[in-house]
Amino acid sequence: MIKAMIFGLLTILALFSGCAATVSSSPASQLPPSMKGYELYSWNTVDGWHFTLITGTNRNKTADEITSPGETVSPDGWVKIHVLGAESIVNVLGRLPRGEEVFWLKLPEGAQVNEALPQDIVELIKSGATAAGVRLTTFQQAG
């Protein structure tokens, strides 16, 4: 009887602690729709191609804001996800609602790296966006 009560209490605590979380790091979770769409940025380092998907806003993002690592999905709809590799960003695009708009932009002035992506990476990401039902507008230059 006591074991059942403890189990029940732990279950309730686990449910409430999950509801109180402000940041989601679950790779399989659906991302919220964005009134202004999303912005996608890419850059290359010795580690490979990096990508950040971030909620679209009326303000310019800083290079530090865009290139900082991590994933934030807040309850108020703010999203910032940084990943390494083209296949990883295709998976992130697959978490967006169908019909969502993504603008693939160049890094802001002052960013350390802003080189053109290889055409095969551009095509992989475009194909992934199409398969996910995401409208991708590209302002990147393929190399």
Residue 16 inside a domain? The answer is no
pLDDT (tens digit per residue) in 86-99: 999 999 999 999 99
pLDDT (tens digit per residue) in 22-74: 344 444 589 999 999 999 999 988 999 999 999 998 888 888 899 999 999 99
Residue 60 inside a domain? The answer is yes
Q: Are 115 and 48 in contact (CB under 8 A)?
A: no
Residue 8 inside a domain? The answer is no
Q: How many domains, the chain?
A: 1
According to DSSP, the residues that pair with 49 across neighbouring strands are 44
Residue 2 inside a domain? The answer is no
Give the structural domain span for 134. 24-138
d(CA 30, CA 51): 18
Residue with tokens 């890094």: 107
pTM: 0.76
